Amino acid sequence: MLKARLEHDSVYGRCLATSEPVESGEVVVEELPFAYGPKRDSGIVCLGCYRYLQFGEDGDSLDRCELCDWPICGNCVDDAADHRGECEVFAAARVTFAGNVSEDGVCPQLDCITPLRCYAHLIIARSMSVAAMTATPALDVNRTAVEWSPVYGRYLTASEPVQRGELLIEEQPFALGPKCNGYVLCLSCYRPEVQERCALCGWPLCGPCSDGEEEEENHHLQLECSVLRAARARFYEMPAGSKYWPQLDCIMPLRVLLAKEAQPERWLNEVAPMEHHELERRENADVWHADRVNIAQYLRGPCKLADRFSEELIMQVVGVLEVNAFESRTSQGYPLRCLFPYTGILAHNCVPNTARTIHPSEGYKIRLRAMVDLEEGQQLQHSYTYTLDGTAQRQAHLREGKYFVCSCERCLDASELQTHFSSLKCGQCTEGWLLPKQPTVVESSWSCRSCDYSTSAEDVRQIVCALQAEVNAVQALDMGPKRLEEAERLLRKYKSLLHPSHYIATSLQQLLIEMYGRVQGYEMVQLTDQLLERKAILCRDVLRVLNVFEPGLSRARAMNLYELHVPLVLLAKSGFIANKLTGGELRGQLVDAIDLLKECVEILQHEDQSSQEGILCSVARQALQQLTISVEGLGSELD
Ligand SMILES: C[S@@+](CC[C@H](N)C(=O)[O-])C[C@H]1O[C@@H](n2cnc3c(N)ncnc32)[C@H](O)[C@@H]1O
């Protein structure tokens, strides 16, 4: 741009204005096209030089590209630079050119070329940042490489063979802060429902964080406090009865913007290239509007940041956070979100091969490890969604929150890798299961694999919603015997409706595992052998599913291994006392329980010590020591 600048006007939206006096006839703007190609509703033209081509009635002509068969004239055939982008796409996808022309000479198939070239240029812009990304970040550990594909965008691969449990990446966050759609919380320690306010700016800050904490560790004082104070941006109290308070939604984007100013290079090379799905987000007009008003316009208006951050930039940051941020927990267990520009490049898969731990005690550093052995060049994947949801639920979450349709092996297989995690019992025959015909298509019908019965997606949705509502009601009950007995009742009832491994049944099984041994009347010492067996069966059922969906070093697996070891030990002891087991059998079963604990510790050893999983790891370690001592003390006379 020579003598113009971009402005924002409430009537015109974005517009250009002269940036200095300009004389008549002077050049105001000079610009190269972002992309160009044939105009809409044209006839058949050469995709290299755009001259009209004569095609025969059957769409036949010699003027065809040798690689993809789309129209290219004889002059351009060896050097059609403009055509190269779409040529690769068409050749790879085997999209042929039909050559159909309407009566008025229009060839509609060519209307896709210019939009496709615009998209290709966006991709080129992105792949340039791929080059920057591969070289830039100075990570403490990095055994990965950045690749790019039209399906995934950028993604990470293992740059060398990596064994399960080994580190792939260690990275410090670019920014961290409260989640959106949250309640009023302390802006430094994220403790919910704080009444106290920061003495400097009046925004929520709990007493201990206002008084005691070192300023360097106080995120609020370090970051947004001075901005809010300088602008005299008032924090409004949450109206009674509100569940969440949108005024706090601006804090995390503001922290990213402040980090951008503090680390401009890191922003440019690492954060700016992150996917933010602007077009898709704009389609949800209500949410887009709410974000514009509550975040962009709030920061530019009451927070007086209009001359530092444009509305587009703020909306980009909102999108970057929505698509890329990871949820984490403080040492006290309060949720927050963190932005890791490099680890955030990981692609999604519904059967992940990496696991991450985030460490509050080390400035929220992230560590990414291999869950299973990885080969050099293998794509690294983690799950953006809950692996123990069915395909329809996972797909909805990924479509609505991450803006893509997952086509992983699990999603494309109606049986979810033979687990039947979404299968319903057929209402017409006794032995059949109802499965979706096209699992990634929302409106796909469902059909029985044993008889010819089929039903609509809507009917299946209604059944599943009704059952899920019943499960939610049980989950909402207080932790006690009624909750346990209701969960058992629902599991029995669902036997005639769901596959035993259906995700709704699995969620009830998981709930029961956590309750057997803990709720009143069902505490560990009170459980009969039959109920101990029940807990062990439930653990094994859930582990069977986890073996498929979270193979290797999975956190959920570790939790269930721990849960399983307890009934095994108690059953072994009571079996020995009742003379049902020999000494050798007792020892054998205790050694099995030791193996479960060893694997549990192997998985959880990398968790932050203050986290729930880290605490379970120390408990499992102690149990392992005690059990090992007991087995050693059994003596050989038992054999
Ligand atoms: C957290 S970002 C990953 C990095 C991103 N590819 C980039 O270039 O910045 C998430 C986005 O990557 C793409 N993506 C990740 N996994 C995918 C998958 N399995 N299939 C299709 N797109 C995927 C989607 O566009 C998604 O919204």
Contact 197, 235 (CB under 8 A): yes
**Secondary structure element (H or E) that encloses residue 336, with its range:** strand 335-339
Model confidence over 168-221: pLDDT tens digits? Answer: 999 999 999 999 988 899 999 999 989 999 999 999 999 999 886 566 679 999
> Does residue 590 carry a pLDDT above 50?
yes
For residue 545, give Cα distances in angstroms to 239, 502, 515, 533. Answer: 44, 10, 20, 19
Judge contact between 184 and 248, C-beta under 8 A: yes
Ligand 1 center–CA 271 separation, angstroms? 14
Q: Could you give the CA distance from residue 316 to residue 80 in angstroms, rounded to a whole number?
A: 35
Burial 125-155 (b: 16+ CB within 10 A, else e): eeeebbebbeebbebeebbbbbbbeeebbbb
Protein residue with its CA nearest to atom 3 in ligand 1: 345
Q: Which atom of ligand 1 is nearest to the CA of 348?
A: 16
Protein residue with least CA distance to atom 26, ligand 1 = 402
> What pLDDT sits at residue 32?
76
Beta bridge partner(s), residue 348: 382
Give the mean pLDDT of 288-306.
97
CATH numbers and ranges of domains, the chain: 1-31 (no CATH), 34-135 (no CATH), 174-339 (no CATH), 467-638 (1.25.40)
In the reported structure, the alpha carbon of residue 169 is separated from the centroid of ligand 1 by a whole-number distance in angstroms of 18
Give the distance (Å) from ligand 1 centre to CA of residue 578: 58
Nearest to 569 by CA among 521, 532, 526, 520: 532
Report the pLDDT value the prediction gives residue 461, as an integer from 0 to 100: 97
Return the residue whose CA atom lies nearest to atom 27 of ligand 1. 402
Q: Which amino acid is at 156?
A: L
Place of tokens 């408990």: 619
Tokens encoding 241: 């009865």
**CA 443 to centroid of ligand 1, rounded, Å:** 24
293 contact partners, CB below 8 Å, separation of at least 6 = none
Nearest-CA residue for atom 23 of ligand 1 = 152
The least confident of 89-93, 370-374, 418-422, 617-621 is 89-93
CA of 346 to the centre of ligand 1 (A): 8
The H-or-E segment that residue 337 falls in is: strand 335-339
Residue-wise DSSP of 423-462: -EE-SSSSS-EEEESSTTSTT--EEESSSS-EE-HHHHHH
- Report the atom number in ligand 1 closest to the C-alpha of 347: 16
Nearest CA owner, ligand 1 atom 22: 152
pLDDT digits (tens, 9 = 90+) for 595-612: 999 999 999 999 998 889
Quick one: which atom of ligand 1 is closest to the CA of 324?
Answer: 1
> What is the rounded CA–CA span in Å between residue 271 and residue 324?
10
- Which SS3 state, helix, strand or coil, does residue 101 take? coil
Q: Are strands 175-177 and 335-339 parallel, antiparallel or unpaired?
A: antiparallel
Q: From the CA of 403, give the closest atom in ligand 1.
A: 27
Grade residue 166 by pLDDT with cuts at 50, 70 and 90.
very high
Q: Please give the distance, rounded to the nearest whole angstrom, from the Cα atom of residue 153 to the centre of ligand 1.
A: 6
**pLDDT tens column, 8-29:** 666 776 778 888 888 888 888 8
Asked if 43 contacts 52 with a C-beta cutoff of 8 angstroms, the reply is yes
Which residue from 122, 144, 275 has its CB within 8 A of the most atoms of ligand 1, so it is best to mutate? 275
Closest CA to 189 of 174, 178, 173: 178
Least confident of 97-111, 155-169, 177-191, 218-232: 97-111
**343 Cα: distance to centroid of ligand 1 (angstroms):** 12
State the distance from the centre of ligand 1 to the C-alpha of 398, rounded, in angstroms.
10
Per the CB < 8 A criterion, the answer to whether 190 and 331 are in contact is no
Q: Probe ligand 1: pick from 348, 366, 384, 385, max atoms within 8 Å of CB?
A: 348
Ligand 1 atom with the smallest distance to the CA of 275 is: 9
Question: Hey, which of 126, 144, 323 would you mutate to test ligand 1's pocket, going by the most ligand atoms within 8 Å of its Cβ?
Answer: 323
Residue nearest to atom 4 of ligand 1 (CA): 345
CA–centroid distance, 151 to ligand 1, in Å, is 8
Nearest CA to ligand 1 atom 1: 324
- Is 502 in contact with 420 (CB distance < 8 Å)? yes
Higher model confidence: residue 431 or residue 304?
A: 304
Three-class SS state of 269: helix
Distance (Å) from CA 100 to ligand 1 centroid: 36
Q: In the block, which residue shows the tokens 């999975």? A: 554
Provide ipTM, 2 decimals.
Answer: 0.99
Report CA(53)–ligand 1 centroid distance (Å): 40
pLDDT at 1 (0 to 100): 56
- CA dist 534 to 478, 505, 531, 565, 579, Å? 22, 15, 5, 13, 21
In 3-state terms the chain splits into helix, strand, coil percentages (rounded to 5) of 45, 15, 40
How is 236-266 classified by DSSP, letter by letter? PPPPTT-S--GGGGGHHHHHHHHHHHH-HHH
> How far is Cα 117 from Cα 123, in angstroms, rounded to an integer?
10
pLDDT at 508: 98
Nearest atom (ligand 1) to Cα of 277: 27
The full length of the chain comes to 639
Span 345-363, pLDDT tens digits = 999 999 999 999 999 999 9
Q: What is the pTM of this model?
A: 0.80
User: From ligand 1's centre to the CA of 503, what distance in Å?
Assistant: 25
Alpha carbon nearest to ligand 1 atom 8, residue: 154
Separation between Cα atoms, residue 309 and residue 299, nearest integer Å: 9
Q: Do the Cβ atoms of 429 and 456 come closer than 8 Å?
A: no
Distance 347 CA to ligand 1 centre (A): 5
Distance CA 333, CA 615 (A): 12
Closest atom, ligand 1, to C-alpha of 346: 3
3-state secondary structure 372-431: CCECCCCECEECCCCCCCCHHHHHHHHHHHHCCCCCCHHHHCCCCCCCCCCCEECCCCCC
Ligand 1 cavity residues, CB under 6 Å: 151-155, 274-275, 277, 323-324, 344-345, 347-349, 402-404, 406
Got the DSSP string for 18-69? Answer: ESS---TT--------S---PPTT--SB-TTT--B----TTS--S-B-TTT-
Give yes or no for residue 261 having a pLDDT over 80: yes
Helix (H, G, I), strand (E, B) or coil at 526: helix
Give yes or no for residue 156 having a pLDDT over 60. Answer: yes
Rounded percentage of the chain residues whose pLDDT exceeds 70: 93
Report how far ligand 1's centroid is from the alpha carbon of 404 (Å). Answer: 7
Q: What is the mean pLDDT of the chain?
A: 91
Rounded Cα–Cα distance for residues 451 and 360 (Å): 54
